Structure 1
Amino acid sequence: MRNNELKYWVGFSKVPGIGRVKISQLLEYFTTLEHAWKAPAAELKKAGLDLKTADNFVNLRTRISPDAEMDNMEQYKVKALTCDSSTYPQRLKEIYDYPPVLYVRGTLLPEDECCLAVVGTRRATVYGRQVAEELVTDLARNGITIISGLAKGIDSIAHRAALEAGARTIAVFGCGLDIVYPAENAKLAREILEHGALISEYPLGTRPKADNFPRRNRIMSGLSLGVLVIEAGESSGALITANQAVDQNRDVFAVPGSILSPASRGTNHLIQEGAKLVRNYVDILEELNLAMMAQQLEMKELLPVDKTESLLLKQLSREPSHIDEICRNSGLAAALVSSSLTMMELKGMVKQVGGMNYVLAREMKEEYQAAR
């Protein structure tokens, strides 16, 4: 995208009431956001903005300088990813209310697609701290990127455990990326920048208001394959993230705790309502079809996809196919199909679901998707 157009995406992100839907309406009517930014109120209303939003924008834009916003972003080394860009996280676009602009400090890498949100109480018990450190360390060592919210308690513990395991972690802010909240986590935020990213839907200068954080939570769950709740009381904000994960068709995992502990009442209730009970990290990896993640990453580097595998990928779907059917449809010899499917399973491309039936892996790598 031309830098000249990008600055208007950034400008509109500072206007209350103009989100993804209204941005789409403006683009459909004006073709570019530059034209929309400079349009009179009457044209904005024709484009689909309601009277209040259009008038509010016309008044606000005299006090917003898109050029100054871009200069500020350059100073803080912040990138703006627009929802029409190939660099925008594709999984986030699966949720209904994904933000039109995502602000990023640090780096987002392809392997961050295999990520898990870890959330919980700000007042972690000794039990919660121990469980968070152990689970996150094991998940991180198996190639999982850890996403959390940089809050006190479980969030901070999860970020630190990932960093200490030498893994990637991403913090989602409820304010602009020029403000670290809570301030006591400034050092942690700097460490995350070196081994991951800080992201926010809020433009620079946005203060950490209380109502920003429930909306922030939907991004944490939206980016992730699932949400792990370590410890949560009955009114914990972590339960909001879990509920949003359910709405987004994400897996929810919860760590059981003592029925006498207030810090576990929320997680125990989640399990009662259908969240997956977690005893160890393997429970999570198996549920997400990532149990062989570390081995698959190594195997992928050593053995890229070949022509036989590419042909077999075209024969498979999310529905089980018996090996005999695969042989018939592919025209390949049974011995070749059998050996190739075994190797493809090791590489995380397919999964055997019993009785010599195979399906495409739930989270197949991007290069394997392209080979189909």
Structure 2
Amino acid sequence: MNEQAEWRDWLTVLRTPGLGPMGLRERLCAAEGRIGQVLAQLHRHASSLDSDAQAWLRQPDEARLAADLDWLAQPGHRLLCCTDADFPPQLEGIPQPPAALFVSGDASLLLRPQLAIVGARSASAAGKSTARAFARQLAQAGFVVTSGLADGIDGAAHEAALEAGQPTIAVIGTGPDLVYPRKHRALSAQVETHGALVSEFLPGMTARADHFPRRNRIIAGLSLGTLVVEAGLQSGSLITARLAAEQGREVFAIPGSIHNPLARGCHRLIRDGARLVESAPEMIEALVPAVQALGAELAQRLERLPVANAGHDRPAMGGWRDDPEYRRLLEVLGYDPAPLDELVERTGQSAAVLSSMLLMLELEGCVEGLPGGRYQRLPGI
């Protein structure tokens, strides 16, 4: 099957009313991942589907499918399917994992270690400033900042990561061809150019209230941890935090004044077990075990990827070669195993910063993590 025909089969199935991601995944499993077989089975057993699904399969909207295919044909656009080798493994264990994602930008970023930063749309100036500070430090430490492109905390986090010269991922609640809110049209374009826009929703789908909890589960699922900066008691950010906790991910919250209604959601999270944090290094240090656990699987997947992905090169992680701090770390590491605390003494860097740097070197195949929290430079590097 040629690529265009396969895309058309995927889009036809994704647009089949009532199927849903779990129904599609079950059918893909039975068909050994072949979408053409799934579509053929749907046609054969159409009588078991509802009337809307039968009508669609009998006579698909060709104009709509043509528009979908036009979107996919544009440079940097990708339909990332759960059957693809580079589909993010972090999403496989979440409730109702998506069957496919529409990505505009660098899809390989979804395999990088991510931290979600979320919070109130009506955030205070202080809250947005805090979000910016955390996003900047986390991005500079090697994490991809992931959020939802919403007004307030989300937008501030994306902007700060970009200002730091680092990529950021925006998971959106509309089709990949739309921008919500409209005021973030310029920001959306920057994220697309220097990071990735990600959507579970088909092109042309406008914002709906039920889209945002679905979007939030993907934000939480992609990320090793979720930081809530400001949130009221009814904030959607609390949904993201709850989903992150249910998925076994770390939840962090920043405390605030007892007189600030936007601090109450954070205080509730802290009472419920979220980590109270006051600085980005605290978060990085807390996530070292999760980063190490994910690193090996991410490295294996990165090695299987082609150099170019849908018109976008893989992230230039090899840029560390021009960074004197990374070169110095490799020099002091040498070829004998060394524990993290010894590297702290040799370099003068904090454990949190070193853990992030070592992760990037491990993903690049330059360093190997060993039992007992030790690291070793690989031969030939």
Same fold (TM over 0.5): yes
**Distance verdict in 2 for CA 1:73–1:275, change over 3 Å:** same
Shift of 1:81: 0.6
Count matched residues: 321
Structure with bigger gyration radius: 1
**Distance verdict in 2 for CA 1:89–1:202, change over 3 Å:** same
Report SS of the residue matched to 2:11: helix
Check if 1:60 corresponds to 2:56. yes
Check if 1:187 corresponds to 2:186. yes
Flag structure 2 segments of 5+ consecutive residues without an equivalent: 296-319, 345-357, 372-381
Shift of 1:280: 0.5
Shift of 1:137: 1.3
> What one-letter code is carried by the residue in structure 2 that aligns with 1:245?
A
Which residue number corresponds to residue 334 of structure 1? Answer: none
Alignment of 1:281-360 (within 5 A): 281-289=280-288, 298=326, 302=330, 339-342=336-339
Which residue number corresponds to residue 176 of structure 2? Answer: 177
Shift of 1:25: 3.4
Which residue number corresponds to residue 123 of structure 1? Answer: 122
Check if 1:25 corresponds to 2:26. yes
Deviates more, 1:9-18 or 1:116-125: 9-18
Report SS of the residue matched to 2:337: helix
Which residue number corresponds to residue 100 of structure 1? Answer: 99
> What one-letter code is carried by the residue in structure 1 that aligns with 2:61?
I
> What one-letter code is carried by the residue in structure 2 that aligns with 1:204?
P
Question: Residue 299 of structure 1 contacts residue 346 of structure 1 at CA under 8 Å; is this kept in 2?
Answer: no
Alignment of 1:121-200 (within 5 A): 121-200=120-199
Shift of 1:121: 0.2
**Distance verdict in 2 for CA 1:12–1:199, change over 3 Å:** same
Deviates more, 1:159-168 or 1:35-44: 35-44
Tell me the percent identity: 36
Which residue number corresponds to residue 365 of structure 1? Answer: 363
**Distance verdict in 2 for CA 1:182–1:110, change over 3 Å:** closer
Give CA deviations for 1:184-212 in whole Å, capped at 9, x if unaligned. Answer: 10000111112100000111111111110
Give CA deviations for 1:93-146 in whole Å, capped at 9, x if unaligned. Answer: 232321111110000335852110100000111221221111111111111110
> What one-letter code is carried by the residue in structure 2 that aligns with 1:11?
T
Normalised to the residue count of structure 2, the TM-score between the two structures is 0.74
Alpha-carbon separation, structure 2, partners of 1:76 and 1:186:
19
Shift of 1:5: 2.3
Shift of 1:14: 2.0
Alpha-carbon separation, structure 1, partners of 2:39 and 2:136:
47
Report SS of the residue matched to 2:103: strand
**Distance verdict in 2 for CA 1:28–1:287, change over 3 Å:** closer
**Distance verdict in 2 for CA 1:370–1:278, change over 3 Å:** closer
Report SS of the residue matched to 2:197: strand
Question: Residue 92 of structure 1 contacts residue 222 of structure 1 at CA under 8 Å; is this kept in 2?
Answer: yes
**Distance verdict in 2 for CA 1:130–1:24, change over 3 Å:** closer
> What one-letter code is carried by the residue in structure 2 that aligns with 1:341?
A
Shift of 1:22: 1.7
Question: Residue 102 of structure 1 contacts residue 199 of structure 1 at CA under 8 Å; is this kept in 2?
Answer: yes
**Distance verdict in 2 for CA 1:113–1:94, change over 3 Å:** farther
Report SS of the residue matched to 2:107: coil
Shift of 1:89: 1.2
> What one-letter code is carried by the residue in structure 2 that aligns with 1:365?
L
Question: Residue 108 of structure 1 contacts residue 197 of structure 1 at CA under 8 Å; is this kept in 2?
Answer: yes
**Distance verdict in 2 for CA 1:77–1:366, change over 3 Å:** closer
**Distance verdict in 2 for CA 1:109–1:344, change over 3 Å:** farther
Question: Residue 10 of structure 1 contacts residue 80 of structure 1 at CA under 8 Å; is this kept in 2?
Answer: no
